[in-house]
Amino acid sequence: MARIIYVEDDELVGEVVQQTLADAGHIVGVIPHGTLAFDTIAFKKPDLVILDRSLPGMQGVEILRSLRRLTALYLTPIMMLSAKGGEEHIDEAIEAGANDYMVKPFEPQDLVRRVEEILRQNSLRRA
């Protein structure tokens, strides 16, 4: 079980991801605003952060870069989950420090598989 924060301003997508990952045994909080998300992530220090790219307030990649500057969160795994799937968007996120990038729409089982793999790799790295 992991504590996950998902930053998504589309309520329906947020509910789908939250339920999919809850069914896989994780605790998921959904935050709809970029600036609020950054403050919450910095305070809560979750096991995984999933970010959309386009958000009100801070954009997803901006949040990613800011989180990577914080010593306490530098190693926290971060996944981007976005409708923007172009190579330039993916490259930008990976270069900014994302551990993975998944494009919407997605298959729920693929999301769970990739989340589990990120968490497994992070656990091995910290051991």
Does residue 62 lie within any of the structural domains? Answer: yes
Q: Are 7 and 31 in contact (CB under 8 A)?
A: yes
Does residue 80 lie within any of the structural domains? Answer: yes
63: domain CATH number? 3.40.50.2300
Q: Are 7 and 37 in contact (CB under 8 A)?
A: yes
Does residue 123 lie within any of the structural domains? Answer: no
The two three-digit tokens of residue 72, written as one number:
């306490």
49-83 pLDDT, tens digit each: 999 999 999 999 999 999 999 999 989 999 999 99
What's residue 127's pLDDT? 75
Does residue 126 lie within any of the structural domains? Answer: no
What's residue 38's pLDDT? 93
86: which residues sit within 8 A by CB, 6+ positions away?
A: none
Give, in order, the Cα–Cα distances in Å from 46 to each of 1, 50, 67, 90, 122: 12, 10, 12, 23, 13
